[in-house]
Amino acid sequence: MSAIFILAFTVALQPALAQEVSAGITGTVVDQGGAPVKAATITAKDMDRGTSLSAETNDSGAFNFSRVPVATYQVKVEAKGFQSQVLPRVTLVLNQVARFDFKLKVGQVTESVHVTTEAPLLQTDTTLVGSIVDSRTATDLPLSTHNTNQLTLVSGPGVITPNLFGFQAAQNTFGTGRPYVNGAREQENNFILDGMDNNQSDNNDVGYVPAPEAVQEFNLITSNAPADFGNYLGGVVNVTLKSGTNQYHGDLYEFMRRGGWNANSWSNNLNGIPRPGMHYDNFGATVGGPILRNKLFFFTDFAGSQWSQPSTTAQLQTIPLAQRTGDFSALLAQGIQLYDPASSANPATRTPFLNNQIPVGRFSNAAKAIINSSFYPSTQLANNVSRFTTNSYQGDAKIDWVPSERDHVMGRWSQQGVEAPNTNSIALLGNSDRTFPLKNFVVDETHTFTPNLLNDARIGFSYFPVTEGFSNPTGQNLPQVFGIAGVSDTFLPAITFTGPGTQPGTIGNNDLVQSFHDTTL
């Protein structure tokens, strides 16, 4: 039969929900008598980048920074006729709304009072329930396969995965290690990366998976997410990547795993099977810093992984030599009697084969040609397994630009190339090769018109193509060699008692998601 070519192309261009990739600061400013202080100036200065944001209190003395990049800030309050107050260090995390209420004393603005306080643990200005994994924790946790999605399992109760192999297999690609949150299936989560939709449109699984060393914050929202997010019944996995600062920073790393370093499984020990020869290496580097101090910053990273392991130690079985000539007498010792299907239509009255001997003349010509061919092993192979290999290389490049106190521009490009060949020890079965050239892009611009009015615009796309090809290592037209009619493929078709099936030539999927949003606050 002709090769099957499947090509699915999905494009979604739609206004995206205003997915949060920032934090907020809110509060009130009053005098010693509790009266609101109008038109007080609140300045939040990023301690790592030297950039500043400003807001003013309204008639009620309230102020609000609704979109603040995740960072550590110095917050200063100034009002005419009052001493200024300074919070030296306020560290904001993703989706946090920190409340600070100030009580000013009468005095000169040049007089400053330093206030020692921390952002309250109980957030009364937001209802969402979730947890944060910061960059230090994401890097230092001993993730067995260096898959960032594993952080969902340590982000709080109610998160499990039925697909542990997705983590154990060191496949740092989309669709691996899918979390189940609050009992919902993996397709019912919403994955966000730097505010960009990071879901596949065909099944809503996760798309691009960044390396842990590139993650600034990993936020899992398990309940009461604002309507800004949407597209979830389970959880919202909201991730931001690192940005550059006024200081250069970077690192180099490598992680290794070997089958000989691991304990063997219980079933392997029971059956006398040695530990599988697994080989895993993960390596990479990050670097970030200023291009123009206090104005323009960069961050970039590279990560690679090489993983190879047998699928199992006893997956592929060849037919014993005696059975190839119709001699199944060895099965009688196990109480297995073979019956002649041609002797009766009723299985209960069929005639048994004498001594479990099936006449060779009853074999099909194609079956005899296959088991007697030079491509079919004459004896059981010592290492008769399929071997899976995954090689992955990925990187991110991120720019942050602050042209003025009123503007903040962020742009990021992420790309990953994955090759996953599968080599069979029996050439007749053929080999396969899957490739994933992923891409993820976003640009975000926040403009402050007045201290109490801003606009945030974001546009980007996610591209998740998958191609799986199959190859015939024998180099011959196998159906023609074995006399199987009606099959035009060069592959050996799947053979059942009802006839030959087919082997696909190429399977492909191009999953493109384009999104934009514009929000005024």
Gap between the Cα atoms of 517 and 19, Å rounded: 9
480: enclosing H helix or E strand: helix 478-481
Report pLDDT for 188. Answer: 86
Q: Are 207 and 176 in contact (CB under 8 A)?
A: no
Residue type at position 74:
Q
Gap between the Cα atoms of 456 and 521, Å rounded: 8
Tokens, residue 520: 């005024």
> Considering only CA atoms, which of 356, 352, 370, 365 is closest in space to residue 323?
356
Report pLDDT for 409. Answer: 96
**For the CA atoms of 310, 316, 321, 322, what is the dihedral angle to 10 degrees?**
130
Gap between the Cα atoms of 441 and 261, Å rounded: 39
Report pLDDT for 459. Answer: 95
Q: What are phi and psi of 28, to 5 degrees?
A: -135, 160
- 3 state DSSP class of 200: coil
- 3 state DSSP class of 402: strand
Instruction: Kindly give the pairing relationship between strand 23-31 and strand 97-99.
Output: parallel
Q: Are 448 and 398 in contact (CB under 8 A)?
A: no
The domain over range 23-127 is classified in CATH as 2.60.40.10: yes
Report pLDDT for 230. Answer: 75
Report pLDDT for 6. Answer: 28
Tokens, residue 189: 């989560």
Domain boundaries, the chain: 23-127, 327-362
> Considering only CA atoms, which of 367, 389, 376, 387 is closest in space to residue 318?
376
Report pLDDT for 165. Answer: 63
Instruction: List beta partners, residue 447.
Output: 407, 455
Report pLDDT for 43. Answer: 94
Gap between the Cα atoms of 292 and 479, Å rounded: 66
Per-residue pLDDT of the chain (521 residues), as tens digits, is 333 332 333 333 333 444 556 788 999 999 999 999 999 999 999 999 999 989 999 999 999 998 888 899 999 999 999 999 999 999 998 888 889 999 999 987 666 676 765 555 556 666 678 888 888 998 888 887 788 888 888 887 888 887 666 665 545 555 556 788 888 887 888 999 998 888 887 778 888 899 999 999 999 988 887 777 777 788 899 999 999 999 999 999 998 888 788 888 787 788 777 777 778 889 999 999 999 999 999 999 999 988 887 655 445 567 888 888 899 999 999 999 999 988 888 888 899 999 999 998 888 888 888 888 877 776 655 555 566 788 889 999 999 999 998 899 999 999 998 888 877 777 777 788 888 888 999 999 999 888 778 899 999 999 888 787 777 877 788 888 888 877 767 777 776 665 555 555 555 567 788 888 888 87
DSSP H helices in 35-156: 135-140
CA 186 to chain centre: 12
